[in-house]
Structure 1
Amino acid sequence: MTATLQALLGFIAWTLCLLVLMEAIRSWLVLSGAVPANGFTPDNANLSPFMQRLARAHANCLEGLPLFGGLMLVAVVAGRATVTDPLAWVLLGARIVQSLIHLVSTSPAAVTARFTAFAVQVAIAVWWVLGLSGV
């Protein structure tokens, strides 16, 4: 398996990890009687700030997956993983860092760091588009 496919699997696994964490906490809230089973909003707005950040971090992964994952798949299907392999793990690392910062804080410094991690991903995606298109 190429580095690109491994990183794509990692991206999917990270997204799933955030979902499992969110659903485990939600299940506990229901089983403990703290929240009725039908008492959740998609953004967890009626729950703790952590749960709101967790929902947003998960949504960020879902929003990024078609773009970043799509580029990874295009590269592999086109036999051009040599374009994406060198930065595939960097992209995954930046995604995980972005999510972890999101979970920990919304302070101005944390938001700046989170944006920086996202900007790294966008720069890599632009680089990949240029490399895959032959520009």
Structure 2
Amino acid sequence: MTGFIAVLLYVVWMQLLMLTYAFPRVPMALLGDRNLADWERAEVNRDPSFMVRAKGAHLNCVENFPLFAAVVVIAALMSKSPVVDGLAAFILAARVGQSLVHLISTAPAFVLLRATFFLAQVGMIFWVCYQLIV
């Protein structure tokens, strides 16, 4: 898998996560269960726990995406795409794994597993940066 394909799949994954918490809000509002403005950031969150976890998983994706995308683009601009291509699928897999664990539970064991997936991504992105520099 190339870095560019991984970036595109990362975008698809973020969109799917966003839909898991945004889409259920439409019927809630249309059926009168919730006011359309109930989802402002300043309001108390009354969403079901799965939707809260889905939003957290989506926001976690957003934190690493610019770094990963930047490394992919920089590698391409340096004509060193193979450096990132070798780890791109693993970085994406760690991101999806982190998101899935986030969706499943916030129990301590799951939080540690989620952190492991996160640190794996950080480590691989650092490794790619190192390989691009040397």
Interval containing the TM-score (normalised by the shorter chain) = over 0.9
Contact preservation (8 Å) 1:42, 1:55: no
What TM-score, normalized to structure 1?
A: 0.92
Q: Where does residue 122 of structure 1 map in the other structure?
A: 122
Q: Where does residue 38 of structure 2 map in the other structure?
A: 39
**Does residue 1:84 correspond to 2:122, yes or no?**
no
**Does residue 1:22 correspond to 2:21, yes or no?**
yes
Query: Counterpart of 1:95 in 2: which secondary structure?
Result: helix
Q: Single out whichever of 2-11 and 118-127 deviates more from structure 2.
A: 2-11
Runs of 4+ in 1 over 3 A off after TM superposition: 41-44
In structure 1, runs of 5+ residues without a counterpart are none
Contact preservation (8 Å) 1:4, 1:81: yes
In structure 2, runs of 5+ residues without a counterpart are none
Contact preservation (8 Å) 2:102, 2:110: yes
Q: Distance in 1 between matches of 2:19 and 2:74?
A: 28
Q: CA RMSD in A?
A: 1.6
**Cα displacement (A) at 1:103:** 0.7
Aligned residue pair count? 133
Q: Single out whichever of 18-27 and 107-116 deviates more from structure 2.
A: 18-27
Contact preservation (8 Å) 2:72, 2:81: yes
**Cα displacement (A) at 1:77:** 2.3
What TM-score, normalized to structure 2?
A: 0.92
Contact preservation (8 Å) 1:95, 1:117: yes
Contact preservation (8 Å) 2:20, 2:51: no
